Amino acid sequence: MSWTVLAATLRQRRWSLLWYSLGLVFYSWVMVWFWPQFQGTEYVDIIERLPEELIALMGSSGADLGTLGGYFETEYLGLMWMLIVSSAVILYAMKAVAAEVSAGTMELVLAQPISRVRFIVTRVVGLVIVSAILTGATFAPIQLFGPRYDIELTGETFALLYGLGMLFVLSIGGISLALSAGAREAGRPTAIVGGALGGMWILHILAEVSDIAGWFEPFNLLKYWRPADIINDGAVAAEVWWVYGGVTVASIAVAIVRFVRRDVA
Amino acid sequence: MGAVVECSALTKFYGRNRGVEDVTLVVEAGTTFGFLGPNGAGKTTTIRCLLGMLKPTSGESRVFGERVTLDGAALRGRIGYVAGDVRLFERETGAWHIDYIARLRGAPAPSATELIDRLEFDPSRKVRELSKGNKQKLALIVGLMHDPELLILDEPTSGLDPLNQETVFEIVGERVARGATLFLSSHILSEVERVCERVGIVRAGHLVAEEDVSDLIAKHLRDVSVTFAGPVPAGALDGIEGLTDVTPSGDVTLSARIRGDAIDTLVKRLAAHELADLTIAHAKLEDVFREYYVHEAEVDA
């Protein structure tokens, strides 16, 4: 790992990271602030009367909307949050390699005495830091402002949300980095990751009504992200850790191997 | 003296497109080698293979006796590289680049201040605010500021004004005098002749010739345009060996092409006449190729 490259990486991403983080903090605060006004309103009844597929489209895994977990999953963590953090880490991963190759700055850096392994490992460390900051910007405000608005998360629940949330972000970032590591420009890998996530989302919705789409569910990354279960029950199935952890480790390994073997100019 | 740069049957294809093919060359320590060729000939591809940025399709390259690999970080610590197509971090300043590269190299840059002064570069400005020439200056500063043992310069004066070109050649000359080895890629014949002792000529991905610069100079092709004060004297340029393509242009002007050291004979012959104007210019590199190397290749074939 190179501290010099890491410092430069974070410096060059500082504004986008700041705006993403501020956005997440604000969004989380709004969700916390709105919770007391949301409870017991007709809005909950109206939503719960909607078809299951439509509720799923809003990001719910079927949890009771009247519960804190159901509320956060449907209104925030089940869809919008995934879109926000995914776009942030995809952006980071593309700039980490593919965009630098196409911009030509990779040539400047790799003309210096830094090994490719050190370089890409540093980019991975940067991804971990970015993921940690984004996840922190999401869940810390809930924990911090929650008690003022009738939201009490235990330390364990917060740790589970933070840990699994970060692993989810890392898995998306890892896949993006694996594609970016072998690309000459950022457009194509961005489209592939975006398309794959969009496809997973559609299949996830269709799985509610289609057996064929249901067959894909075990391979669907989005299926395993169920914040309502964590918030309501403090529960995460062991397989979820393995799925996100496995995808993260495997995709990062692929990114390193691809980058070390590729032409960089 | 040992070899600092060696390419053995170096070949690089980008898919079906040829970068370079079967390039074999040796550059001895402390010497200056010019890699001359038109744009797209394969000069930059060869350099990128030498730096371990591209993986050769076949063949190999060695720098300081060590085989170049994609992860040859230690080797690059001894090389100063200035890219032909300068790409920098647009949102950062020159000072940031200098500091960043120094940190990556893990050592202070002993010549940075001197180079900044001599190239009259303002490091406080952001790269996006710099002209092409100033970006080139910054690339030269970060490439040379560590006093590397091997300078690999790819079109280093591109975008610089003549005064700064002069300064760059002075700096490079000083580094070579101190023992550095120079590998200079260029498509400008006069630039290579001025700085290098030996030259490799690359065309369409192949090294078509390798020779001493003195031999190349002897082969010089020049385009001559003579305007006489009156009508062109009969037989004014007849019988000069090496003078070809003599073409009248109007009543008072002749243009021609002259090879090698016949220039001396030409000038002496013209001295006998009253001239209104005289222009002598280096022929284009492509014409040199056509005149010598393509012809030689055809004869060999």
- Map out the domains of chain B as residue ranges: 3-217, 220-300
What ipTM was predicted for this assembly? 0.85
Domain span holding position A129: 3-32+82-261
Contact B100 A8 (CB under 8 A): yes
Question: How far is it, in rounded angstroms, from Cα B27 to Cα B46?
Answer: 13
In a domain, A51, yes or no: no
Instruction: Count how many pairs of residues, chain A against chain B, have C-beta atoms within 8 Å.
Output: 71
Q: How confident is the model at residue A105 (pLDDT cuts 50, 70, 90)?
A: very high
In a domain, A147, yes or no: yes
pLDDT given for residue B154 in this prediction: 92
Residue B34 zone, left/alpha/beta (φ > 0; ψ -120 to 50; rest): beta
Query: 110-139 in A: which are within 8 Å (CB) of B?
Result: 110-118
Number of domains in chain A: 1
Cα B91 to the chain's mean position, in Å? 30
Mean pLDDT of chain B: 87
Q: Of the spans A36-45, A206-215, A247-256, B244-253, which averages the highest pLDDT?
A: A247-256
Give residue-wise pLDDT tens across range B14-39. 988 999 999 999 999 999 999 988 88
Q: Of the spans A68-77, A144-153, B56-65, B154-163, which averages the highest pLDDT?
A: B56-65
In a domain, A65, yes or no: no
Q: Which residue has the tokens 């060996």?
A: B241
Q: State the Cα angle at B90 between B85 and B91, rounded to 5°.
A: 165
Closest in B79, B88, B100 to A4, CB measured: B100
In a domain, A108, yes or no: yes
Any residues with CB less than 8 A from the CB of B202 and at least 6 apart, and which? Answer: B20, B23, B35, B36, B37, B41, B42, B43, B46, B208
- Output the CA torsion sign for B127, B131, B132, B134: negative
pLDDT given for residue A28 in this prediction: 96
pLDDT given for residue A114 in this prediction: 93
CA B44 to chain A, closest CA, distance in angstroms equals: 10
For residue B232, give the DSSP letter.
P
Q: Which amino acid is at A118?
A: R
pLDDT given for residue A194 in this prediction: 94
* Domain spanning B3-217, CATH architecture: 3-Layer(aba) Sandwich (3.40)
The list of chain B residues with pLDDT below 50 reads 299, 301
Q: Does B104 touch chain A (CB under 8 A)?
A: yes
In a domain, A47, yes or no: no
Name which residue leads in pLDDT, A181 or A65: A181
Count CB neighbours of A219 within 10 A. Answer: 10
In a domain, A59, yes or no: no
Contact B73 A111 (CB under 8 A): no
pLDDT given for residue A10 in this prediction: 95
In a domain, A72, yes or no: no
pLDDT given for residue B260 in this prediction: 74
- Of the listed ranges A45-49, A209-213, B199-203, B251-255, the least confidently predicted one is A45-49
Q: Does B77 touch chain A (CB under 8 A)?
A: yes
B3-217 shares its CATH topology with B220-300: no
- If one looks up domain B220-300 in CATH, what number appears? 3.30.70
